[in-house]
Structure 1
């Protein structure tokens, strides 16, 4: 059984013989790579289809159990309705077909897979309408249009949370199963030990727009800085780099004091910085899931996030695995962060509860089993791996 995965893939965190190769920069999302690793480790052959704006011709990376085909992405794809990117991805899939395809996101990757006619499921990882409402621009309008086409035409959908599922129409819900995101089984082992907590908060965000709400987090930190003058605030991700959007906003409003604008960093370094933070502050207005929150839960860092921010309240077990606040109020954000900074027992309780809740509900073992069972139901037959699972999984009782 060969499973195809079409979506944004971080080639540098794939566990295969080519690890360490100087790969081109791709449209990367760590969860897709963890998903591929989980399938390969369970004995399935996988073909990954992704793309990159840093290449001028398609590239192929092939090993016995994992093949990756990288197609080209041109600048400003939204202005061309992603037609070139969809056609290139479709061509790669048709040249190197899989038995079944899982498409991540409901945009160009899913549209390309749909056009091949290969049995597939679309895994939804955001709510296109909510993103459009928070970012009213042509690019998001185009993405919403592609999403509408995909969720209408696809026979099978996966929603990554109850929140995402709840945003679908009645007709779409009938063909949708809810399967949450997950963290990989060796996730904690990637954190260098011992972890020494630094005197800083951390936020990692892909963008500085209205939906991500980092501007309110900066205002909240300015309040905290007056009470905790040595406290630092680390900002990671796109738009968070020095002289980026977040920095320009902070400079304009005199909110720079104590803030480190670190921008995009390698995934492993991001995890290490999250693990060593006193608190992860997640100021987003809306999240279909909240992977960075889950990463903090697993690595042992207490979280402060929005009480009405999509799936976040559920992910934090409604305040038992992290503190929930009014994310639009800098004062309320600051008050909740201060609770964790001044009450070590509360912080440790949140960290402990979060780890237990994450393991019970969002571990690789729990979630991948649900995926494989759903694929088997779609295809009407058992999924048979090409070989035995990796010995490390067998040793841990995972199959």
Structure 2
């Protein structure tokens, strides 16, 4: 009989995992399930629901340190740190709208498991770069700690980096310590209109190589927000600094046409849309998240448009391509072949029905050496294979 376990603390989490390991009963590990349909469907008899592990353990604004239980909603954490004039610098993406779920329901544990980030990754990094420490339960039912503000560490592994992006297949995070940063006094965006994707990538790369300290660089398709194609560059900081850098950036990019400036509020809403993939959220067609070298983003889209109908936009100065297949087919072979032709990268099938996610490699297939390392990590942390089995690749 299928059971749902909702532990209230680390000890109860250990008890559930130990039982599952002893009985070789696989567990689907989740928080609120906001990303449940991202990845291969997990075939398990039981659910380990961490939503009860919620709340702030310790917050020291003056030290820029936050310790929080893994089931705490990211939206709650962002509201708490915002009240102290701080933020999560990597602005973690909210997959809710894209996956047909309620926006704002993702948890800190899910953020860690998916290694989330947003447009500011080009400047601040991703979730793994902001994790100072964590407490987690291995597939053996053993508690381990890693990183700062802990007394027991597991040697031999950079655990936050190993566990971020593992989608709950290696351990169950229970408590996470994060670095927070002061929020910018103001922000704005410089907009160039009507550029082709190739021109936009050239402009974005030029801006990123300047001293303007750009914290977001995206190219949005014609029709988004009711406008033609727009190339958007975000500037954040103190008002005087933002004003100065805007003028300097406008001079640098004058060869790409006239620029206009967004108000702080308009800029904020636009970047939330870019962060959460709202330009492609409508409908149920397959959506891909593709990472390539920034200089390759436009070329990748140009080659794929010869093969199938698509909608797409560029983030990370052209290095992150969000793509929707308009006829409902996944085109995984074509996309991954195009990535290889563009010099390499990786593609994740973020949205598709369950049958497609079973048939198509959702995550980028790994080279043999990396695949062997992944299997060794799984054997070390989850020797009985009970944590989210098969979510990333079959039989792992």
TM-score normalised to structure 1 length: 0.32
More strand by share: 2
